[in-house]
Structures are given as C-alpha cells and as structure tokens.
Chains A and B, each alone.
Chain A
Amino acid sequence: MSGNVRRVVSVIVYNESSTLSRITDLFSARGYNIVSLTVAPIPESKYSRLTIVTSGSSRVIEQIIKQLHKLIPVLKVYEHEDLVEKEMTLIKFPITENISDIDTLCQAYNGKIVNAGPDMVIAMVADEPKRIDHFLEAIKRFHPKEIVRSGAVALER
C-alpha cells in the first residue's frame, strides 16, 4: 500500500444550509483528514464549489471521493491531477519593522502591502500553498503579529 499523499478535491454541491456539515461530518465520521477547506457559491447557479485539501493513502483517497459522491446533494467530485492551485494569506506586521523589505518580499510572492495603520501594516500574498509556506518562513524575522491563510482553491488545467 502506498504512503500518504496530499490531494486536492473539488466538490460541486447543491446550495443548502446543511450541505457543508454533511461534508465535514463525513470526514470526521470516517476519520479522513482535512488540511484545508474553502467554499463559495458558483455564480449564477444553485451550486457551490468546495475545495478540500486532504491527505491519505490512495485507497483512502478513493474512498473519500466515493463517499462524497454518495451524499445526496453532491453533484460532482473532481480529484485534481494537473491543476493550478492558489492560496491567499494576510499578515499583520508592526509598523516598526522594515516595511520596504517586507514589500519587496511580498512582491516576490505575488503580493503587496494592502493596508496601513498608525501602528501596523497588513500585507497580502497569493501563491501556491507550498510557496506560502516558504513565504511565512521567510517573514518570521519581521515579527508578524497575526497570520491568516485562506486555504487552497484550485482549477484543473
């Protein structure tokens, strides 16, 4: 049996208040792992799209997809092989840090400073989740006060 792999699964679901809990309940009831989960309505439709980053053996991934399919309000499940994946993150820095260095770093990761206040600045970057990991490592020396990650969204190429 193969080891754990990271997988991005997109789920198209009927828009209902209970749908999200059906999906998260499924993951917890069957002991599947959720690394991240994003959800938003698909414009001009009765459906929403969830992007779930999960991990498991290939058998577990196969089961996750089949079990998701079994849920009544689930229209489609895609397991992405060849995809464009992005994640956004917001970071708050004290104003006392070197702002221009921060800005340069952000630009290298598809981002910029998006807001400034009397004692802080907020930066935004959007990039592949792995690169976001690197970015967050790199900015440690600027003493970030708060970090929020959006979770991944993905589209098949």
Chain B
Amino acid sequence: MQISGAQMVIEAMIAEEVTVVFGYPGGAIMNVYDEIYKQDSFKHILTRHEQAAVHAAEGYAQRTGKVGVAMITSGPGFTNGVTGLADAYMDSIPIIVISGQVPMSLIGTDAFQEIDAVGISRSCTKHNYLVTDAADLPRVLKEAFHIARTGRPGPVHIDIPKDVTAQLAEFDYSAPVVLETYKPTTKGNTRQIKKAVEAIAAAKRPLFYLGGGIISAEAAYDVREFAKSCGIPAVETFRARGTMGADNPLLISMLGMHGSYAANMAMSETDLVIALGARFDDRVTGKLSEFAKGADIIHVDIDPASISKLVNADYPIVGDIKKVLEVMMPLAKEKVDPEKYTPWLETIENFEKLHPLSYREDTDNIKPQWVIERVGELLGDDANITTDVGQHQMWTAQFYPFSRPRQWNSSGGLGTMGYGFPAALGVKAADPERVSINITGDGSILMNIQELMTAVEQKLPVINIILNNNYLGMVRQWQTLFYDKRHSETDLSVQPDFVMLSQSFGGAGYRVKTKEEFDAALKDAIEKNVVTIIDVAVERMENVMPMVPSGGSLFNMMLEYKEK
C-alpha cells in the first residue's frame, strides 16, 4: 500500500518506538503535523522555540540513551534549531532533527523560508539528508536512527521538501540497514588489549581517565567493577560525572580547568593513563606538552579519529568500551595486583587532604556552592540534574554528589547557554518519577525562558534554581583575572522579577536570601509540582576555583582567589 511521505515519518516513529517528539510547526512541515494530529502513538510536545525543541530532544536522549527526536519547519525554524544540532554534535548525543523544506520545484529560487538547510547542518551533524523522493524515505529514516545511535553517537538531520511529504510511495520499514560505507568497529583488537593489560600490570601509578563515551556506551557499571577489581583510582571528565558514583573511594574527582587539585595532580603524576571514551579536550588537558608527561597512554574509544588526535596513544584500542572491557577485565583481574597501588592511593589521598575541593562561607551571603551541596543532601539520587553554562555549571560539576550515569546532563563541548531548561524538560518527559532540577544562572535562564509556557502546558514541573550573582559570572571571573577587573558588559544588575515572571506563566516562584528560605522553597516547590524558579541571591564575587588558566599546565592551578 502506498502512503504519503508525511505518513512515513509517523510510521517510522512508531517502528522506532519513539514515545515523545519535541517540535514546532510551520508551512513546510505542515503535512507532517497534519499526520501528527491524526495519530496517538506518540506524544508531541510543543516547545516555544525551535532551539528548545532540539535541546529537549537532547535532554531526552541523554536521560534515556535512546534517540531523541525534534521536528521543525524550514527557514527560520531550521536556523533556530542549528544551535541544538551543534550542541548534540559536540557532545555526541543521538538525536534526529526532521525539518521541512520548500517544495522541490522551488529549491534554489530563494523561495519564501528557503534556506540551504543541509548546507548549514553539514558541519554540525554526524550525517544529513535532503530527501528528494518519498520512495527513499523509509531507507533514510531507518538509516538516520541507525547512524545516530551506533558508533560514536551524534545528531542526524533530515530535510524533507513539502511536496515529498505529500508524495505517495511504498513504505517498507522491514529491510535491514545496508550501509557498505559505515561499519563502526566495536570489537577491540585482542592483541592490543592484552598489551594494554600488561602495561597496567607493570604500572606503578595507573590512573583511569573517564570520559563521556562511557555513558554513551552504557558502560559505567563495568568501569566501576574494573576499577574496583584492580584498585586503580579514577578521574572523571565533566561529561563523565556519575560514572563512578560520588561515594566511590576510587573516584578522585573531576579533572581539567576547574578540576580538583588532587585530580589534576594525579594526572600530572601518573605513569599510565587509561583513557576510556575521553577525547583529551583542551579544557581537560591544559598545556598539551605538559599533560600526563612521562605517562604511557592507553586510549579506548569508538571513534578512531579521537585516538592520537591531540595526545599520542601508546596503546590505541578502537572499540565499544563495553565490549573492550568484557575482554580486558578478566585479563586484568588475573594479572593486576591491587595491593601494589596502595602507595599511589596514599599519594592521592595526601593531595586530597592538602587541597580538598572546598569553599569558604566567609560572607553573609549564601555561597553558590552551598546551594548545590544542599540540593545534593536533600535530593541526591532522587534528582536528575541539568545546568546552563557558566560558574553555576562548574560548581555543579564540582559539588553535586552524582551517584549514577545519566543523572547529569549539561552542555559540555559547545557550552550553550540556554541549554539547561529545555534539556530539563526532555529529562522530565523521559523520567517523570524523579525531580528534574536545572541549576542555572541569571544570564543563561533568560536564553530560553519562554519554555516556562511549555512546562506549564505539558505539566513538566522542572525546578530552575538560579544562582543569581547579577553577573555573567564566568565571563566576569575571566575579566577579573585576565582583564584587570574591567567588567565589560557583564553586570546584570538590571533584572526581571523572576518570581512574578514564573507566576505570570502559571508556575511558582521564590526569592531566596537565606539557607532556611532555600530549604523551604525547595520543599514547597517539590510539593507544588509545577514548574518553578527559585531565585537564590548568592555571593556576587565568588570565583570558580581551582582554575588552570587557559593553556596552562594542569599542575599549575590557581587555588584560591578572593575578590574585593
């Protein structure tokens, strides 16, 4: 039987067991929206901006490990969504964005709301398609899901001209995906794995360097077991938070620009880095020539291009982390004597004692770090956490006691202000039982504030906690440190009334100045179960420490900087 291109989109969603789609309609994608209206197999969540639809799909994907889906129209609808594609690309998040396009006959004529969408998305997607014939749609849709979730995951964009969504063709989704040119290596080379295990057994000060790839590979619990059986300590990247679990004695902390002293020192002192699904990002390594100097490097990654891109790997292993660990772990258990690393663990403990991750409550104002610790104490494992971008984000990565993978969700690679709130909506849609908290800044929250409406309409009671410093705090911090305190255009003293703002959409709002007020507000917000803004007045001049200045060596950390 022949069905329309638009119906095919719906059928593909059903076949892929998509339960929720985020989107925003418009002229070029109306045929698809007409079919959305007629079906009840999945839920459509109307965001109030296309960027938010794509971020919500990312949040959904991050929480579930499944492919998130967003649908948007051509022209401005598509360009609004590009930030989301770029964000998903940088953080390897599996999503599919389907955009409408002007009819085929109008392509290339500068038609109303025409933009070269695949031209724009090419450099910020894992793959993209312009579908010129409805007969191709079943294959393209199936390939898109396959490509998004396999190998190193990432966003796939499908651009469909309006006449193609109207065109009738045969729909057969049963044919398996045949992509001669795309066959990601998942099984690691056994010889390399053996050599790596020997290196681990021979090392005196081995260190796990855990990256976001572990979360994508659903390998966090395998990594925990591996680390435990070998007694080897671990540092986590920003995106890997939750891999080891905060109370894991082998977890040092996050490393990198705002990593802990112990994590960065361990990386500087190790003689063997065991990198799993990490990509040696510049925010992690600092000055490359000084990074883990003197250490050999084992690098396990699904993406061959990540291996030896920035730091030469002595033991490169291309493969899916879970599959590689299946082979590596039994070998390591045989060969590695955990007792051997006791002196190394003591060294690390001393680093931790010397400069623990901490802050001083030396003013009358609430310290932003306290808020995060407090949320952790009160909610801990019961909350899923997203953030926006800035100081509040780094403090969350430092101080929240993440206990499980996929609990944490924040824009790492692209650093997209405005990510947190819509992503938290996606998280809440995926995991309604848990509290969805977005820790945000007074700058970032305004970048997708319109999503209050989506949250109210869809009953997605996300709790936004603004660590309000009346500043674009992270930029202000750099201005303080590197621009002689010239705080150019970062003062956000002029602000909306966030309480009334939230209320005006039908949400709840709290203005908080003391710890007691904060506890009461959070408790009340959870009980009320509506979208909330808790606007917390925090110490304005607090800086994120430790800090490795851009391009500096990891072991050269600024540990404290008191302003005023």
Interface residues of A (CB under 8 A from B): 13-14, 18, 21-22, 25, 29, 59, 62-63, 66-67, 69-70, 72-75
7 A-B pairs in the complex with CB atoms less than 8 angstroms apart: A18-B130, A22-B122, A63-B305, A63-B309, A66-B305, A72-B181, A75-B180
Which of the listed residues A22, A62, A70, A73 has the most CB atoms from chain B within 10 Å of its own CB? A70
What is the CA–CA distance of A18 and B119 in the complex, to the nearest angstrom? 9
What is the CA–CA distance of A73 and B180 in the complex, to the nearest angstrom? 9
Q: Are A21 and B119 in contact (CB under 8 A)?
A: yes
What is the CA–CA distance of A62 and B119 in the complex, to the nearest angstrom? 26
What is the CA–CA distance of A13 and B180 in the complex, to the nearest angstrom? 10
B271 at interface, CB cutoff 8 A: no
Q: Are A69 and B122 in contact (CB under 8 A)?
A: no
Known: A18-B128, A72-B126, A72-B147. 10 other contacts (CB 8 A): A14-B181, A21-B122, A25-B122, A63-B309, A66-B309, A69-B304, A70-B304, A70-B305, A74-B181, A75-B181
Query: Is the contact region of chain B dominated by helix, strand, or loop, or is it mixed?
Result: mixed
Q: Are A70 and B303 in contact (CB under 8 A)?
A: yes
Q: How far is the CB of A48 from chain B (nearest CB, A)?
A: 12
Using Cβ atoms and an 8 Å threshold, which residues of chain A touch B308? Answer: 59, 62
What is the CA–CA distance of A74 and B179 in the complex, to the nearest angstrom? 10
Q: Are B127 and A72 in contact (CB under 8 A)?
A: yes
Chain B window 120-131, contacts with chain A (Cβ cutoff 8 Å), 1 for yes, 0 for no: 001100111010
Can you name the residue of chain B whose Cβ is closest to the Cβ of A63? B309
What is the CA–CA distance of A63 and B126 in the complex, to the nearest angstrom? 17
In the complex, which residues 130-154 of chain B have their Cβ closer than 8 Å to any Cβ of chain A? 130, 147
Q: How far is the CB of B151 from chain A (nearest CB, A)?
A: 9
Which of the listed residues B118, B128, B182 has the most CB atoms from chain A within 10 Å of its own CB? B182
Q: How far is the CB of B85 from chain A (nearest CB, A)?
A: 14
Q: How far is the CB of B527 from chain A (nearest CB, A)?
A: 49
Using Cβ atoms and an 8 Å threshold, which residues of chain B touch A69? Answer: 304-305
Q: How far is the CB of B136 from chain A (nearest CB, A)?
A: 11
In the complex, which residues 297-326 of chain B have their Cβ closer than 8 Å to any Cβ of chain A? 303-305, 308-309
Can you name the residue of chain B whose Cβ is closest to the Cβ of A30? B123
Q: Are B182 and A72 in contact (CB under 8 A)?
A: yes
Using Cβ atoms and an 8 Å threshold, which residues of chain A touch B309? Answer: 63, 66
Q: How far is the CB of A116 from chain B (nearest CB, A)?
A: 41
Using Cβ atoms and an 8 Å threshold, which residues of chain B touch A74? Answer: 181
Can you name the residue of chain A whose Cβ is closest to the Cβ of B156? A72
Q: Are B304 and A66 in contact (CB under 8 A)?
A: yes
In the complex, which residues 404-435 of chain B have their Cβ closer than 8 Å to any Cβ of chain A? none
Using Cβ atoms and an 8 Å threshold, which residues of chain B touch A62? Answer: 308
In the complex, which residues 87-113 of chain B have their Cβ closer than 8 Å to any Cβ of chain A? none
Using Cβ atoms and an 8 Å threshold, which residues of chain A touch B122? Answer: 18, 21-22, 25
What is the CA–CA distance of A14 and B309 in the complex, to the nearest angstrom? 26
Partner of A25 from the list B123, B180, B303 (CB cut-off 8 Å) is B123
Can you name the residue of chain A whose Cβ is closest to the Cβ of B124? A29
What is the CA–CA distance of A18 and B140 in the complex, to the nearest angstrom? 15
Closest 4 interchain pairs by CB? A66-B305, A72-B127, A75-B181, A29-B123
Using Cβ atoms and an 8 Å threshold, which residues of chain B touch A70? Answer: 303-305
Q: How far is the CB of B161 from chain A (nearest CB, A)?
A: 14
Can you name the residue of chain A whose Cβ is closest to the Cβ of B312? A59
What is the CA–CA distance of A66 and B310 in the complex, to the nearest angstrom? 13
Q: How far is the CB of B313 from chain A (nearest CB, A)?
A: 11
